[in-house]
A and B are shown apart, each in its own frame.
Chain A
């Protein structure tokens, strides 16, 4: 947990695995002034190599599956994956369609699930706040 201590703000990588976009937009909305996820010290970063948390949306399409794994492997330890939205959690409304795996945890380990279709900015903030608290408490 050295890295958590060194960095006050967890850096998040946002990865869309074939989502409709609603959750992705709500993640970005969570960073805009009204919701301001940044006050929790959360920063959105563009590269896997510098991130602590992967925020994934979407049900994981077949086309993107190997890239999801590759990106996950590029994130250095310690790392956590958050499934944002119903699709990332269980496939959502796309559960069972021929080109989806029906959820992020079918492919990589997930630490937290934020439900919703889409997950609202408030739910996203709540989810991240809870996760960060858990980390602080050293669980």
Chain B
């Protein structure tokens, strides 16, 4: 059984509610779709038990009433586990920085560009928008358009 298929099998064995929501897209890609309530458990299982010791990045998605989050994990040998979840825009996801201290920058990016709320993040500068960027304007939201072509004026 390939690496990817083994991981799929282990996930479903440990979390039966994931049946039908995990697949091996190819030899080095596993995709997992999980509800927010079950996210932490699945995430920690992948990181601690299945040794996905690398967080490549976190992708944000505007899904209307919710924000989508994809945590792109990887481990030695090349296998990736992409864990998708979603959260209503006015609610918070918990920070993953206790596990991945370097991961805060990906969370700050979501906060700036999508208005995501991340609970528990240590204090720090925002990233990547400029200091004079107007509050409440999150450019990667689907309905966000600059007021004029090019940079908005302060």
A and B touch in the complex (CB under 8 A): yes
Seen from chain A, the residues whose Cβ lies within 8 Å of a Cβ on chain B are 61-63, 65, 91, 95-102, 106
Which of B46-54, B64-72, B80-88, B127-135 participates in binding chain A?
Answer: B127-135
In the bound complex, do residue B152 and residue A98 qualify as a contact, i.e. CB atoms below 8 Å apart? yes
Q: Count the A-B residue pairs with Cβ separation under 8 angstroms: how many? A: 32
Complex CA distance for A96 and B129, rounded to whole angstroms: 16
Q: Mark B115-151, 1 if CB is under 8 A from A, else 0.
A: 0000000000000011111000001000000100111
In the bound complex, do residue B131 and residue A101 qualify as a contact, i.e. CB atoms below 8 Å apart? no
Q: Which residues of B contact A102 (CB under 8 A)?
A: 150-151
Interface bin, chain B = 10 to 19
In the bound complex, do residue A62 and residue B149 qualify as a contact, i.e. CB atoms below 8 Å apart? no
In the bound complex, do residue A96 and residue B149 qualify as a contact, i.e. CB atoms below 8 Å apart? yes
In the bound complex, do residue B130 and residue A98 qualify as a contact, i.e. CB atoms below 8 Å apart? no
A/B interface sample: 8 pairs, CB < 8 A: A62-B151, A62-B152, A63-B131, A91-B150, A97-B150, A99-B139, A102-B150, A106-B150
Complex CA distance for A91 and B130, rounded to whole angstroms: 18
Complex CA distance for A96 and B151, rounded to whole angstroms: 7
In the bound complex, do residue B149 and residue A99 qualify as a contact, i.e. CB atoms below 8 Å apart? no
With both beta carbons as reference points, the residue of chain B lying nearest to A95 in the complex is identified as B150
A130 CB, min distance to chain B CBs, angstroms:
29
Q: Which residues of A contact B152 (CB under 8 A)?
A: 62, 98
Complex CA distance for A63 and B127, rounded to whole angstroms: 11
